[in-house]
Amino acid sequence: MSNPRDWEDLASRLDGIYTVEHFETAAYRLVAEQVIYHADRSSRVTYAILDLYEREFAKILAPLGVSLSINRQLRYVTALPQHAKAGTATVAQTLFGLVLRGLYDEGVRAGGLTEDGEVLCDYIELQEKFLLMTGRDLPTRGELDTLLRTVKRWGIARRLEDDDNGQLTPLQEQSAGGVAIRPAIVDVLGETALMRLAQWGAARDEAHADGAVAGESVAIDDNQGVNHEEA
């Protein structure tokens, strides 16, 4: 991805504060994880390096067709393909991601953001909104766990039980945890995401009227691009 001497030069300017390994790790994580959040304790060194050397990392990613962007207000970094081909996700993954985007937008309008720009949602609300938006029941525990791992890998949500960063309201505490929808969801699932959810609803209604069954997969080809490769 880069000449090791480039990292050595950058590291030498910082008198050992950050090492060559720190720079290599930051570059690798950008491509592998797509989103880096300062709020995650394990990512703070990586975020700090990217914040300091945004221009240098942008130059490194450009030949790969990857665009680097830093949201310094909410403190996260995204690395998204500029010319990504349409990725294909399962129906469950697609709908789950779009419902989370809808919930995030609702939370923003209601002023319900945390200091880290997240929208917290308990499982009861998630179940209700999923049914309302898709006409389907929220997947059962095993499939839901898989979906939560997927959206965590995409950098758009995390389970509150995974760490202690999220603070639950009394109502959310009663429902034994929930999901934190992360701010980069607006970058990963762009402006057309909610339109796709509406299109799904229309297609679903038409299929029901015709007695048809929905297809096995749905393409997400938003211009922002989404990495759907399995880890």
Residue 161, pLDDT score? 74
What is the C-alpha separation between 193 and 50, in angstroms, rounded? 28
- Record the pTM: 0.77
Domain termination residue (choose one: 81, 101, 120): 81
Looking at the fold, whether 112 and 173 belong to one and the same domain comes out as yes
Domain with 75, as residue range(s), is: 4-81
Residue 90, pLDDT score? 79
- What average pLDDT values come out for the chain (231 residues) when binned by 10 residues? 64 78 90 93 94 91 91 95 67 89 94 94 93 90 92 92 50 62 92 61 54 42 41 33
What is the C-alpha separation between 215 and 203, in angstroms, rounded? 10
Number of separate domains in the chain: 2
Residue 121, pLDDT score? 93
All residues at 6 or more sequence positions from 12 whose CB lies less than 8 Å from its CB, including other chains: none
Domain termination residue (choose one: 81, 98, 114): 81
Instruction: Flag whether 118 is in a domain.
Output: yes
Instruction: Flag whether 228 is in a domain.
Output: no
